[in-house]
Chain A
Amino acid sequence: MTQDVEMKEVPAPAPSNSVTAATPSTLQHLKEIASLIESGAYAREVRRILRAVRLTIALRTKLNASVVNAFLNFSLVPGSEVHSRLASYLPKEDEQDMEVDTATSATTALAKHSLPELEIYCYLLVLIFLIDQKKYSEAKACSSASIARVKNLNRRTVEALASRLYFYYSLSYELTGDLAEIRGNLLALHRIATLRHDELGQETLLNLLLRNYLHYNLYDQAEKLRSKAPRFEAHSNQQFCRYLFYLGKIRTIQLEYTDAKESLLQAARKAPVAALGFRVQCNKWAVIVRLLLGEIPERTVFMQKGMEKALRPYFELTNAVRIGDLELFRTVADKFSSTFTADRTHNLIVRLRHNVIRTGLRNISISYSRISLVDVAKKLRLDSANPVADAESIVSKAIRDGAIDATIDHANGWMVSKETGDIYSTNEPQIAFNSRIAFCLNMHNEAVRALRFPANSHKDKESAEKRRERQQQEQELAKHIAEEDDDEF
């Protein structure tokens, strides 16, 4: 019925702009989403709400002021406080569109139940629209108002929408650079979410808080929050990926490189393919962590689709570390220092200097059976007052740490490398195999756990005859097996 009315209205204002002709389809979608939310709210099915949110995100690019206004008129009682507040955020439009809208809303005067879910959804829609239009200060005001509203509601179905609201709330403040202001609010919201057992909200808010702390480099506080916050099975893949990324960052700064590598690589793997920016960031940090651990990432990591340009500085850095050349490392670090500072990886790059020296030493030790320390100092290109003494201490530390296998002859001032024995006679292969086997088995277990059976509603109902047939077959099979058993005896 709604459709007929719309079709009649559209040809009437003939000289109207083509925008009006395009809006019905988007508006139609929005109305469908609204009805989906309504049905979900009544049936208390959270999944429908989530689906509604997903559909909205798909429509994001097609939104414009008139559509949003029309939708507001449709879903909220016009003249109500909420409606006027939300409408005030949107820019005013010209007369003709208003006519169409009022006409449609007048004709579709169905009973408008002012559902809280619908209200929150309208807030969400307006917020998304404002952010896309880059009207950040209005977005800030809108989001603060919506948060105040959400605090009073306590329904499962609202929570799904609320978690998206929190995200945009934090985003609007971040884009205006006022992230520190909302920290108290986010903490309060997290408390409320925990009290209400709102796990999706808790997850989202924890990630937002971590992001807040990491934005200001407060790694210590972020870690304290993360270790104390309650944790549970991830509800949303995206939130889980974000959590892993933040965890990886914290662990890197705290020098726990193995844990960091695991988290970062997992985050990069689990992230959806469309999230290119996120994966680029994960990969950047993962590359650095691997370099700090002493392993060189393969070239394919840098050649992934769409990431080549962004990862170029890191590629050159890896090259410098691989060769073990301090000079090259220094030039690369200086050349791309602005990129590194923007990525906040600058301090980590400084830590890499030590790795460069180690790699250089290892190369020297493998290539020479005996080499004088003066030559070692020259090759490593250590720029210091007393290179030979430096080189000597560095070599002795490397020997102690097990990076190279050699001895120093102080009297003659040279380094003698030891013969490396056959590695297969040690336990190394066993350990390497074990880690791979454990990984595969882990993967298998996770896959089994993630198995889902097809939903019942999608299965075609068996017709009566088919069922009879199937039962007949089963009976025959049972008889057959019984006979077989008899035969065996």
Chain B
Amino acid sequence: MDPKLSEVSQMCELFKAALVRNDFEKCETLLSQLKVLLTAFRSLPPLFEATLNAVHELTVARDIYEHAVILSVKTEDQDAFERDFFQLKPYYTDAGDRLPQSQQEFPILGLNLLRLLVQNRIAEFHTELELLSASALENPCIKHAVELEQSFMEGAYNRVLTARQTVPHETYVYFMDLLAKTVRDEIAGCSEKAYDSLSINDARQILLFSSDQELSGYINEEHPEWEIKNGYVIFQKAKESAPCKEIPSLQLITQTLSYARELERIV
């Protein structure tokens, strides 16, 4: 076997072992070394030359990037995730027909979808979704992400939070926690418009806190305008905008002027 290839494979094994041990510094150094070594291979994207060991090299490289993605999730580095994922993508799309299917493909695709959802990049979420084939959509990892997005859009937030229990893969936990935080903010925003007041118990339940102290801490930090009185949380209803007697004068003026100008043009 090619000496370079064997060197890379050995280092890859070390990398994987370090990852399992959660030894992040070693992982990082090994990863950078591996990436440098991979540039020597000509069969990888973007060149895609058909060298002798092409299939083997592609498999090894794909393996490395998949573990890099998992590493970035463990170190909670979203930028690294994005970078590594983009490097991994050509292996799935363009080299997909040359290599046997990877076990990690669907979990990683699902992870990416989840990340886009958490970062609220819904347009990109849908664009990515379009690229998936119908069979991919049946896969539980991807289905999980899609259903999550649906529940999020509909507003059934409790479903989102229960979905946290049913993650198909342990790497999802990190993103689910982030999502929980976003969901909580959303729920708070909805509740203040929808309810006049809530008892402390109900508020705690809806916002999914485990104790009253957390609830009051949260309210003091994020929503100082809410009042806590007699065991009730009163949402700010005073800025109930009275029917605005104010005319949006600037807008009306610009509109009328544009009408006058256009009409003047009509000969």
Contact = CB atoms under 8 A, between A and B. Distances in A.
A, B in one complex:
yes
A452 interface: no
Contacts of B193: 396, 399-400
Interface string B227-267: 00000000000000001000010001001001100100110
Given A390-B156, A396-B155, A444-B266, A219 B127 contact: yes
Q: Which of A254, A393, A425 has the most CB of B within 10 A?
A: A393
**Most A-side CB within 10 Å, residue of B187, B194, B258, B259:** B194
Interface residues of A, number: 46
A445 B255 CA distance: 17
A390 B194 contact: no
A395 B126 contact: no
Contact of A407 (B124, B158, B195): B195
A413 B191 CA distance: 14
A239 B23 CA distance: 58
Interface in A186-220: 217-220
Contacts of A219: 127, 130
Contact of B154 (A253, A397, A427, A434): A397
Interface residues of B, number: 41
B195 A394 contact: no
Given A219-B130, A220-B127, A255-B123, A421 B243 contact: yes
A384 B104 CA distance: 30
Contacts of A273: none
A354 interface: yes
B194 A408 contact: yes
B156 A399 contact: no
B122 A410 contact: no
A350 interface: yes
Contact of A350 (B150, B198, B262, B265): B150
Contacts of B252: 430
Nearest to A425: B243
A254 B255 CA distance: 31
Contacts of B126: 253-255, 347, 351
Given A347-B129, A427-B248, A353 B150 contact: yes
Contact of A400 (B127, B194, B255): B194
A411 interface: yes
Interface string B189-207: 1110111101100100010
B47 interface: no
A389 interface: yes
A357 interface: yes
Contact of A397 (B124, B190, B195, B259): B190
Given A396-B194, A407-B194, A437-B259, A254 B156 contact: no
B159 A399 contact: no
Contacts of B243: 421, 425-426
Nearest to A385: B162
Given A410-B202, A444-B266, A397 B155 contact: yes
Contacts of A441: 259, 262
A10 B228 CA distance: 103
Given A255-B122, A393-B187, A441-B262, A217 B131 contact: yes
19 contacts: A217-B130, A219-B130, A253-B123, A254-B126, A341-B134, A351-B126, A357-B154, A385-B162, A390-B158, A393-B155, A393-B158, A394-B156, A397-B154, A399-B194, A400-B190, A410-B195, A421-B243, A427-B248, A444-B266
Query: 9 tightest CB-CB pairs across the interface, nearest first?
Result: A397-B155, A396-B194, A396-B190, A400-B190, A441-B262, A399-B194, A390-B156, A254-B123, A394-B155
